[in-house]
Amino acid sequence: MDSITQAVLGAAIAEAGFRKRLGARSLAFGAACGTVPDLDVVSAAVNPWLDLVAHRGPTHSLVVLPFVAVAAGFLGARVGRKGTPTQWAHLAFWALITHPLLDVFTSYGTQLLTPFRSTRFAFDAISIIDPVYTLPMVFALCTALRAGSVAWRIRTQRLTAAALIWGCVWIGVGLVNHSIAVGHTQRVLARAEFDPVQVRVMPLLFNHFAFRYVARDATGRLALGHASVSGSGATVPLMVQPATGPAVQAVLSHPMGQRYAWFADDMLGIRIESLDSGAERVHLDDLRYGAMTEPDRALWSAHFDVAADGTIIHLERDSRPSRPGDPSTEFAELAAILSGERW
């Protein structure tokens, strides 16, 4: 999820389980450990193609983070001036390990088993930003920071623990809602006589009651639309047929083309543009994410310029090639999806 939520989660873990033994500085330490895995975003500044494999990669690995926790324990004991390195390492472990365990319930994909496996796990249960998950922990922490007496500190510790439990419950609700949305999606695809080999159903922003679905058949054709738990249904799929041809084959055979297809979970929209130079520009659109008003308008893309002989002469990631429409229009569309007005 977003880094603010991860910091809040780390601080909440410290408040609920470690502040009594390690003191108030444990909250800042927990917040810092909670955000450490997201330091991998610097890879985008180094090389945008490296970012495809580095973000939510080694720094989010369940194999790597326990070793980071041990090192952080010695730092915590030195800075915190209270408690043992083992106690601080214990806090660091939980603040670090819950970061990828929370991320895996979003749709982006998290490499939990690097370096042994490059599989990107995504359970599609919660939006990358969800105030209903985050705000109860923020409230509990604000209350804890104002607590003076021992009795109030005990109450705020329990309040923070309750906020953490609520977060787990909310994710559980998201898993149930995802299952319901998958059912709606499968039924609407069957009515459209679309035979998918792969289906992703991902929560839209700020909630897990409305979802975007993307399905792919054996030919590579995609079906896009939205499903709603509260609206009890799904939209008629918009069909997208990726372009084909020698230039496309050259791109998909290129290491960076293969990397982008892996990153997009093979949910690729492919477009060809003819350039004045005689070359062809092949656009790879990551159609896991798109505007609500125009499902086939991808938010993330990359393009490759291919010469007549099939040589890749230029390649570039488009950081955000197509922004959503007017925010008010997008939120109006979200409301329509939630209510079931679109089917």
Between CA 173 and CA 304 the distance in angstroms is: 41
Q: Are residues 79 and 152 in the same domain?
A: yes
Q: Which residues of the chain have pLDDT under 50?
A: none
Considering the domain boundaries, does residue 162 fall inside one? yes
Between CA 97 and CA 34 the distance in angstroms is: 8
The residues pairing with 269 across neighbouring beta strands, listed in sequence order, are 285
Which of 33-61 are b and which e, b meaning 16 or more Cβ less than 10 Å from the residue's Cβ? bbbbbbebeebbeeeebebbbbbbbebbb
Considering the domain boundaries, does residue 37 fall inside one? yes
Considering the domain boundaries, does residue 226 fall inside one? yes
Q: Are residues 152 and 267 in the same domain?
A: no
pLDDT of residue 72: 98
> Quick one: residue 109, left, alpha or beta (phi over 0 = left, psi -120 to 50 = alpha)?
left
Residue range(s) defining the domain that contains residue 263: 194-328
pLDDT of residue 193: 98
Calculate the CA 222 to chain-centre distance.
21
Q: Are residues 292 and 222 in the same domain?
A: yes
Q: Are residues 233 and 127 in the same domain?
A: no
pLDDT of residue 148: 72
Considering the domain boundaries, does residue 342 fall inside one? no
Q: Look at the chain and report how many structural domains it folds into.
A: 2
Between CA 170 and CA 208 the distance in angstroms is: 9
Q: CB burial class (10 A; 0-12, 13-18, 19+) of residue 293?
A: middle
pLDDT of residue 323: 60
Between CA 271 and CA 275 the distance in angstroms is: 13
pLDDT tens figures, 226-235: 999 988 899 9
Considering the domain boundaries, does residue 185 fall inside one? no
Q: What is the pTM of this model?
A: 0.93
Considering the domain boundaries, does residue 180 fall inside one? no
pLDDT of residue 324: 60
Q: Are residues 128 and 272 in the same domain?
A: no
Q: CB burial class (10 A; 0-12, 13-18, 19+) of residue 335?
A: exposed
Q: Are residues 227 and 148 in the same domain?
A: no
Asked if residues 304 and 315 have their Cβ atoms less than 8 Å apart, the reply is yes
pLDDT of residue 201: 99
pLDDT tens figures, 60-110: 999 999 999 999 999 999 999 899 999 999 999 999 999 999 999 999 999
Q: Are residues 13 and 159 in the same domain?
A: yes
Q: Are residues 219 and 309 in the same domain?
A: yes
Tokens (6 digits) for 86: 């083992």
Considering the domain boundaries, does residue 61 fall inside one? yes
Q: Are residues 213 and 316 in the same domain?
A: yes
Q: Are residues 130 and 232 in the same domain?
A: no
The residue ranges of DSSP E strands in 69-221, in sequence order, are 196-203, 210-217
Q: Are residues 160 and 211 in the same domain?
A: no
Considering the domain boundaries, does residue 187 fall inside one? no
pLDDT of residue 343: 82
Q: Are residues 41 and 169 in the same domain?
A: yes
